[in-house]
Chain A
Amino acid sequence: MSRAWLGLILSAATGFAQDARQIMQQAQDRAKSASQRYEGTLQVLDGKSKITEKRWTYQRTGAAGDSKAVLRFTAPAEVKGVALLVVNHPDRASDQWMWTPSLQRERRIAFQDRSTRFFGTDFSFEDLEERDVSQFDYQLADEEQLGGAAVWKVISRPKKTKSSQYSHAHLWVDKQRFVIVKIESFKDARLIRRIVYRDFRQVQGIWTPFVVEVEDTNRKGRTMLKTDKLEYNLPLKEENFTLQALRRES
C-alpha cells in the first residue's frame, strides 16, 4: 500500500523543521527506501457492518514519486491474481493498469477514474499513487496535540501543473518521528476522505504504520489495511514492474 503522503510516513526521525515544506521534505527523506515489500490484509466494513476481507502482496521499486509498484491480490480465491501496476511520475499523475487473470488482459485505469473508489474500498485509485513533495504547495497551519503526541498541522495544495480530485488536504505530522499520522482530504470545503495511521513500528530504521484506517465520507463504512511481513530495500528487478510481468506471473 502506498499513497501520496503514505510514502512520507515510512521514515522516522526527530528534529525541528523550519517551515511546512521542510517538514514534508524531511518526512519524505526519512521514509525513503529503494524498494519495499509487504503483505496486506484489507478489511472493508460496509454500512451494515458486514466485513469483507482480502489479502494482497505489495512490491515497490524506486521512491519519491519516481517509483513503480505492483499490488497483487492473493485471497479470496475469486480475486486471486488480480493485480494493479502503478507507475508514478515525478511531474504528473501516475499511470495505472489492472490485470485480470480470468480474462487474460489488462485494462488501463484512466486518469478520469482516479477519483473513483478502489474496488469497493474506501481508498480511491489516486490514493494509491506515490507523489513527490515537489508536486504540492505547503502551509503550516498549526501546532497541536493529537493522541497525546505533538504534531504539526500542514495544509497541502496540489500545484496547478498537476491534477488531483482533492483541492487541498490537512496533514498532521508527528514532530518527534516526522511521520504523518492523519490526513483529511477535501474537495473545496467538503471533507472527502480521512486516513488515520496507527501502530507505528520501526522497520530497518524506518517508522512505518502497520494499520491504516480510511474513511470515505460519502459512505457509512470504513476500510482498514493491516501490514505484515514488511521489508525495505530488497533486490527487486525492474522488469517485474511491467505489463508483461503482470501477464507472465498471472
Chain B
Amino acid sequence: MMLFRLLTLPYVRKHKLRTALTVAGVALGVIIFVAMRTANDSVLYGFQKTVDRITGKAQLQITSGDGGFPEEILERAQAVPEVEVAVPVIEANAGTGKQGQGNLFILAVDMTGDRSLRDYDLESGEEAVIDDPLVFLAQPDSIMITREYAAQNGITSGSKIALETMQGRKQFTVRGIMKPGGLAGAFGGNLAIMDIYAAQNVFGRGRTFDRIDLSLKPGVSIDQGRAAVERALGNGLDVETPASRGKQFESITKIFSIGATLNSLFALLIGLFIIYNTFAVAVAQRRPEIGVLRSLGATRRQVRGLLLIESVVLGIAGSAIGIVLGLAMARGMARYIGTYISDLYGLAQHTEEITADPFTLSMAFAAGLVTSVIAACIPAQKAAQVDPVSALRKGSHESFQESESRKRILGAFTFASIALIFWFWGGKSGFRLLTGYLSVVAAAVLLTPAFVRLLVRWMRPVLRLILPVEGALAADSLMQAPKRTSATVAALMLSISLVIGLGGVANASYASITDWMNAAINPDLFVGPSEQISERSFRFSASLGDEMRAMDFVEEVQSVRTTRVRFDSTLVMVVATDMESLSRRAHPKVIAGDARAMFRDAAAGKAVILADNLAMMHNLKLGDTVEIPSPAGILKLPVAGIILDYSDQQGALLMDRTLYIRNWGDDTVNVFRVYLKHGVAPEAGKRGILEKLGDRSRLFVMTNAQVRAYITKVIDQWFGLTYMQIFVAVLVAVLGIVNSLTVSITDRRRELGVLQAVGGLRRQVRQAIWMEAAGIGAVSILLGLALGAIILAYYLGVIRDEVAGIRLEYTYPFGIAALMIPFMMAVAWASALGPGESAVRASLVEALEYE
C-alpha cells in the first residue's frame, strides 16, 4: 500500500490524460460487450415477459409454426381428457394511424371461455371490464383496450377507434377497458382484445386459429399433458410450453449475439495493446524510482505486485465505466434490435425495460479486469527484473533482444500453423473457426514488431524525402521505441482488419442479395397487406388473385403464402406458391440439382426445393428427405434441388401451393406477385389495381423498385449495428494512437527540448510528431489491410457454418481499403494534433530538466 502511495499515485496525478486513455481502452471493449449482450437479453426478456402476460395461465400451446391451423383442431384438443381448458387465439398487429402511438397488438380470443386462462382484470368482476359481454360478442366491431392506452388517447367506453384491417381502415367500438396489471401490461399497454371469430374476418384468417392455449387438469404434469395432446392431434403440430416460444426467439437474436461477442472481444484485444503500451512506458519512465525502491530493499515480488495492483485498479475502473455506459447504450440498441426483428420477422414485441443479467455484467467485468492484468503482466515482469544500478542511469532502455524476437517469430509460426491446420483439416465447426481466427490474430500480433522494424526501416528514406529533419526524427523515434510502436501498430492493425473483415462481409452480402434479387425478385408489382413485406398479421383470400388475373393489363399472378414451421428446433420459412409459374418466371441460381427437374417435381407436389442456407445449416443434400410438420401430420418429401434464396435468414423451403393448401387447410395468401402485360408501366398497373380493389380491401401495391429498396433497407438495418461496432473499434484504435504519441512525447521531452534549444523550430517539432503519427498510420494500414484479408475469410466462414448458412463469395473490399487509407492517415494526423501542440508548448527549461 505504501509502495502504491509512493510510486503509483504521483505518477497517475502527473499523467492524468494517459491514465484516462488507458481506462477508456478497457472501457470501450466492455461497453460493446455489455451494450450488445444486455440489449439482446432485454429484447429476449421483453419477448418472454410479453409471452407470459399474454399466455396467462396456459401451460401448453399448440401451434403450427406461425402459420395457424384449421379450427377443427380446437375440438380435438378440448376432448383430450388431460386438458382442462383449451382456448383458441389469433394475434395480429394493427396500425392505428395515431401519430406516435404505434400499432395495437390485437389478441383475439373466444371470450366465452378465455377468462379462465387470462386475467383481464384482477380487481373486480367482469362487468367492470366489459360493458355487456353479449353485445361484445354480438357486434364484430367490439374491442377492449387497456386503461393505459385509453388514458393516453382520451378514449372512453363507447368511443370509436380506427384500425387497419383486411377490409381497409375500420372503425371499432370500445366496449371494455382493462384495468392495469396482468395482460394489460403487455406491449406497454398497446394491446387490445377482440372476439376471435370477428378477428378471423377482419384479419383475413379464414377458419383458422394461430394457436391454442391449454391448461391441464390438476395432477397432470406438463409432460403427461403434452404426450396426451400429441397422441390426440398427431405429430404435425407443435405442443410446447409458452417458455419454448422464447427459445425460438432466442435463435433469431443469436445472430446478433455471435457478432457482438466477437466484436467486443476484438475491441478488448485492441484495448489490451493500449494497456500494454501504457504499462510498458510507465515501467520505462519509472525505472529510476523502481531502482531506488529496489536499493531500499523492495523485493522483485513487491515491485511486480505493485504493477499488477495498478493494472487491477485500472481494470476495475475501466470495467465499471464500461458497464455503466454499456447499460446506458443498451436501451437504444434494444429498441433497434426490436425494430429490426419486428420488421424482418413480423414478430410483435415490446422491450419495456433493460435487463441487466448479473452473469453478463460479471463476464464483462472479468473480461475488462483480465485484459488489463494480462496486458500488464509482461511490463510487471520487466519491472521486477530491473537492476537497481542500471535503473538509476538515465536514458532509454527500450529494445528488443534477439532471443525475444526469435521467440516471437517461433510463436507466430506455431499459431499460423494451427490456423492452417484448422482451416484445412478441422472439419466444420465453430470451434475450428474460433481457434483458427484467434490463432491468426495471435500470429499477426506476434509478428507485428518484426514487420514494424522492417517497414519503418524501409519508410525512413521516404519520410526523409518528404521532410528531411522531421522525417528522420520521426523514423528514429519509431525505431528507438519498438515495443511502444509495435503495440500501437498492433491496436490500429487489428481495428483496420476488423473494418476490412466486416466491410467485406457487408459488400459480399449486398452483392449476393443483389444477384438473388435480380434472379428472383422480378415481378412488376407486389400486392401485400402492408408496407412491410414481412408482415403476416393480415392475409388475403385467394379469390383476390383471381380478380387481379381478370384485369386486362395483368399477364400473370403468383399467389404466395409464407409461414414459418419448426424444423430441427428452429423456425424456417415455408414459401408456398405456384411452382410451375415460378419456374417460368424466376431463374434462381441453382446450387444443386437440375433446375427443370426440381421445379417439375415440386410443382407436382412430390418434392421441395431448399434455400442454400437452410441446406447448409441443417446439413441437407440433394435427395435427402425432409420432415415438415403440418396440421395434417409430418410431411416427408425429398429435396429436389437447392437454390440460392435469401427469403429468410433462418432458411426457406419452397413447395407448391396446392400441397400447402392440402396439408395446412389454408388457402389464404400473404403476397401476390404480379406480372404486367408487355408495355404496361408499373405505376399504371399499380394505379389500376388500387382503383379496382383498393376500396374493398386493405392492400399495398409495391413496384419492383420499392420492394428492392425495402430489402436493401432491411440489410442496412442489419449492418447498422455492425457499423456501430466498427466505429467503436476504430475509436479504440484512435485512443491507442493518441496514447502512444502522448507517451512518445513525454518520453522524449528532454530530446525535444534539446532540439528546440539548439535552434529547432516549433514547426519542425510539430511536424516531426505528425510524421511519427503518419508512420504509425502507414505501417498499421499496410498490416491491417493484409490481416483483414484473412479475417474476412474467417468471418465468411462463421456466417456460412455458424450463423446463417449463407455462402458469401470472397471478394476483397478494395473500395473500403482505398477509403481506409486516407481516413486512417487523417485519423493518425488528427490524433497527433494534441500531442504535437503539447510538445511545442512545453517549457524548455522543464523539458531540459526532465528526468
A15-23, A105-113, A146-154, A240-248: which lies at the interface:
A105-113
Query: For the complex, is B123 an interface residue (Cβ under 8 Å from A)?
Result: no
- The listed residue with most B CB atoms (<10 A of its CB), out of A73, A117, A120, A220, is A120
Complex alpha-carbon distance, A102 and B136, angstroms? 12
Determine which of B78, B84, B124, B134 lies in contact with A120 in the assembled complex, contact meaning CB atoms within 8 Å. Answer: B134
Residues in A neighbouring B126, C-beta threshold 8 A: 117, 120, 219
Determine which of A46, A81, A105 lies in contact with B127 in the assembled complex, contact meaning CB atoms within 8 Å. Answer: A46
By the criterion CB–CB under 8 Å, are A79 and B134 in contact? Answer: yes
Query: For the complex, is A189 an interface residue (Cβ under 8 Å from B)?
Result: no
Query: For the complex, is B358 an interface residue (Cβ under 8 Å from A)?
Result: no
By the criterion CB–CB under 8 Å, are A78 and B138 in contact? Answer: yes
Q: How far is the CB of A68 from chain B (nearest CB, A)?
A: 20
By the criterion CB–CB under 8 Å, are B134 and A112 in contact? Answer: no
Complex alpha-carbon distance, A100 and B137, angstroms? 8
Q: How far is the CB of A137 from chain B (nearest CB, A)?
A: 23
By the criterion CB–CB under 8 Å, are A103 and B132 in contact? Answer: no
By the criterion CB–CB under 8 Å, are B127 and A102 in contact? Answer: no
Determine which of A52, A78, A98, A221 lies in contact with B112 in the assembled complex, contact meaning CB atoms within 8 Å. Answer: A98
User: Given A98-B137, A100-B197, do A120 and B113 touch, yes or no (CB 8 Å)?
Assistant: no
Q: How far is the CB of A225 from chain B (nearest CB, A)?
A: 14
User: Given A116-B112, A220-B125, do A103 and B201 touch, yes or no (CB 8 Å)?
Assistant: yes
Which residues of B191-221 are within 8 A (CB) of A? 197-198, 201
Complex alpha-carbon distance, A112 and B75, angstroms? 11
User: Given A46-B127, A103-B198, do A116 and B115 touch, yes or no (CB 8 Å)?
Assistant: yes
Complex alpha-carbon distance, A120 and B115, angstroms? 12
Determine which of A110, A119, A221 lies in contact with B86 in the assembled complex, contact meaning CB atoms within 8 Å. Answer: A110
Can you name the residue of chain B whose Cβ is closest to the Cβ of A80? Answer: B138
A 42-65 binary contact with B (CB < 8 Å = 1; else 0) = 000011000010100000000000
By the criterion CB–CB under 8 Å, are B138 and A100 in contact? Answer: yes
Residues in A neighbouring B85, C-beta threshold 8 A: 112
Residues in B neighbouring A116, C-beta threshold 8 A: 112-113, 115-116
Residues in B neighbouring A101, C-beta threshold 8 A: 138
Query: For the complex, is B130 an interface residue (Cβ under 8 Å from A)?
Result: yes
User: Given A98-B112, A100-B197, A111-B78, do A119 and B137 touch, yes or no (CB 8 Å)?
Assistant: yes
By the criterion CB–CB under 8 Å, are A73 and B134 in contact? Answer: yes
By the criterion CB–CB under 8 Å, are A113 and B197 in contact? Answer: no
By the criterion CB–CB under 8 Å, are B140 and A113 in contact? Answer: no
Can you name the residue of chain A whose Cβ is closest to the Cβ of B124? Answer: A47
Residues in A neighbouring B139, C-beta threshold 8 A: 78, 102
Number of A-B residue pairs having CB atoms within 8 Å of each other in the complex:
80
Query: For the complex, is B240 an interface residue (Cβ under 8 Å from A)?
Result: no
Residues in B neighbouring A120, C-beta threshold 8 A: 126-127, 130, 132-134
Q: How far is the CB of A97 from chain B (nearest CB, A)?
A: 11
Complex alpha-carbon distance, A216 and B810, angstroms? 73
By the criterion CB–CB under 8 Å, are B137 and A82 in contact? Answer: yes
Q: How far is the CB of A38 from chain B (nearest CB, A)?
A: 19
Which residues of A194-225 are within 8 A (CB) of B? 218-221
Q: How far is the CB of A235 from chain B (nearest CB, A)?
A: 30
Query: For the complex, is B421 an interface residue (Cβ under 8 Å from A)?
Result: no
User: Given A79-B134, A112-B85, do A107 and B110 touch, yes or no (CB 8 Å)?
Assistant: yes
By the criterion CB–CB under 8 Å, are B127 and A221 in contact? Answer: yes
Query: For the complex, is B842 an interface residue (Cβ under 8 Å from A)?
Result: no
Residues in A neighbouring B113, C-beta threshold 8 A: 109-110, 112-113, 116
Complex alpha-carbon distance, A88 and B134, angstroms? 23
Q: How far is the CB of A217 from chain B (nearest CB, A)?
A: 11
Determine which of A79, A98, A109 lies in contact with B135 in the assembled complex, contact meaning CB atoms within 8 Å. Answer: A79
Complex alpha-carbon distance, A108 and B201, angstroms? 17
By the criterion CB–CB under 8 Å, are A108 and B134 in contact? Answer: no
Complex alpha-carbon distance, A192 and B125, angstroms? 15
Complex alpha-carbon distance, A101 and B139, angstroms? 9
By the criterion CB–CB under 8 Å, are A102 and B115 in contact? Answer: no
Residues in A neighbouring B78, C-beta threshold 8 A: 110-112
Which residues of A109-151 are within 8 A (CB) of B? 109-113, 116-117, 119-120, 125
Residues in A neighbouring B127, C-beta threshold 8 A: 46-47, 120, 219, 221
Complex alpha-carbon distance, A73 and B197, angstroms? 19
Complex alpha-carbon distance, A103 and B78, angstroms? 23
By the criterion CB–CB under 8 Å, are A102 and B138 in contact? Answer: yes
Residues in B neighbouring A117, C-beta threshold 8 A: 126, 133
Residues in B neighbouring A113, C-beta threshold 8 A: 112-113, 116
Q: How far is the CB of B173 from chain A (nearest CB, A)?
A: 10
Complex alpha-carbon distance, A120 and B132, angstroms? 7
Can you name the residue of chain B whose Cβ is closest to the Cβ of A120? Answer: B133
Complex alpha-carbon distance, A218 and B113, angstroms? 17
Residues in B neighbouring A98, C-beta threshold 8 A: 112, 137
Residues in A neighbouring B140, C-beta threshold 8 A: 100, 102-103
Which residues of B107-164 are within 8 A (CB) of A? 110, 112-113, 115-116, 124-127, 130, 132-135, 137-140
By the criterion CB–CB under 8 Å, are B116 and A103 in contact? Answer: no
By the criterion CB–CB under 8 Å, are B197 and A78 in contact? Answer: no
B 728-762 binary contact with A (CB < 8 Å = 1; else 0) = 00000000000000000000000000000000000
Can you name the residue of chain A whose Cβ is closest to the Cβ of B84? Answer: A112
Residues in B neighbouring A54, C-beta threshold 8 A: 134
Complex alpha-carbon distance, A117 and B198, angstroms? 21
Q: How far is the CB of B427 from chain A (nearest CB, A)?
A: 53
Can you name the residue of chain B whose Cβ is closest to the Cβ of A119? Answer: B134
Residues in A neighbouring B116, C-beta threshold 8 A: 112-113, 116
Q: How far is the CB of A89 from chain B (nearest CB, A)?
A: 15
Can you name the residue of chain A whose Cβ is closest to the Cβ of B197? Answer: A103
Complex alpha-carbon distance, A64 and B399, angstroms? 107
Residues in B neighbouring A119, C-beta threshold 8 A: 133-134, 137
Complex alpha-carbon distance, A220 and B126, angstroms? 11
Q: How far is the CB of A85 from chain B (nearest CB, A)?
A: 14
Can you name the residue of chain A whose Cβ is closest to the Cβ of B77? Answer: A110
Complex alpha-carbon distance, A215 and B197, angstroms? 30
Q: How far is the CB of B457 from chain A (nearest CB, A)?
A: 85
Q: How far is the CB of B671 from chain A (nearest CB, A)?
A: 27
Which residues of B62-92 are within 8 A (CB) of A? 74-75, 78, 83-86
Q: How far is the CB of A86 from chain B (nearest CB, A)?
A: 14
By the criterion CB–CB under 8 Å, are A219 and B125 in contact? Answer: yes
Residues in B neighbouring A46, C-beta threshold 8 A: 125, 127
Can you name the residue of chain A whose Cβ is closest to the Cβ of B115? Answer: A116
By the criterion CB–CB under 8 Å, are B86 and A82 in contact? Answer: no
Residues in B neighbouring A219, C-beta threshold 8 A: 125-127
User: Given A54-B134, A112-B86, A116-B115, do A105 and B125 touch, yes or no (CB 8 Å)?
Assistant: no
Residues in B neighbouring A47, C-beta threshold 8 A: 124-125, 127
Residues in A neighbouring B110, C-beta threshold 8 A: 107
Can you name the residue of chain B whose Cβ is closest to the Cβ of A218? Answer: B125
Q: How far is the CB of A67 from chain B (nearest CB, A)?
A: 22
Complex alpha-carbon distance, A128 and B110, angstroms? 19
Q: How far is the CB of A114 from chain B (nearest CB, A)?
A: 9
Can you name the residue of chain B whose Cβ is closest to the Cβ of A81? Answer: B138
Complex alpha-carbon distance, A109 and B135, angstroms? 17
Complex alpha-carbon distance, A32 and B135, angstroms? 34
Residues in B neighbouring A79, C-beta threshold 8 A: 134-135, 138
Q: How far is the CB of A115 from chain B (nearest CB, A)?
A: 8
Residues in A neighbouring B125, C-beta threshold 8 A: 46-47, 218-220
Complex alpha-carbon distance, A73 and B84, angstroms? 30
Q: How far is the CB of B32 from chain A (nearest CB, A)?
A: 51
Q: How far is the CB of B54 from chain A (nearest CB, A)?
A: 20
Complex alpha-carbon distance, A73 and B127, angstroms? 20
11 contacts between A and B (CB under 8 A): A46-B125, A78-B132, A98-B112, A100-B137, A101-B138, A110-B113, A112-B85, A112-B116, A116-B113, A116-B115, A120-B132
Sample of 8 more A-B contacts, CB < 8 Å, known A107-B110, A116-B116: A98-B112, A100-B138, A110-B75, A110-B113, A112-B83, A112-B86, A116-B113, A120-B133
Q: When A and B form their complex, which 10 residue pairs have the shortest distance between CB atoms, in order from nearest?
A: A113-B113, A119-B134, A120-B133, A219-B125, A46-B127, A79-B138, A78-B135, A82-B138, A119-B133, A110-B78
Residues of A with Cβ closer than 8 Å to B?
46-47, 52, 54, 73, 78-79, 81-82, 98, 100-103, 105, 107-113, 116-117, 119-120, 125, 218-221
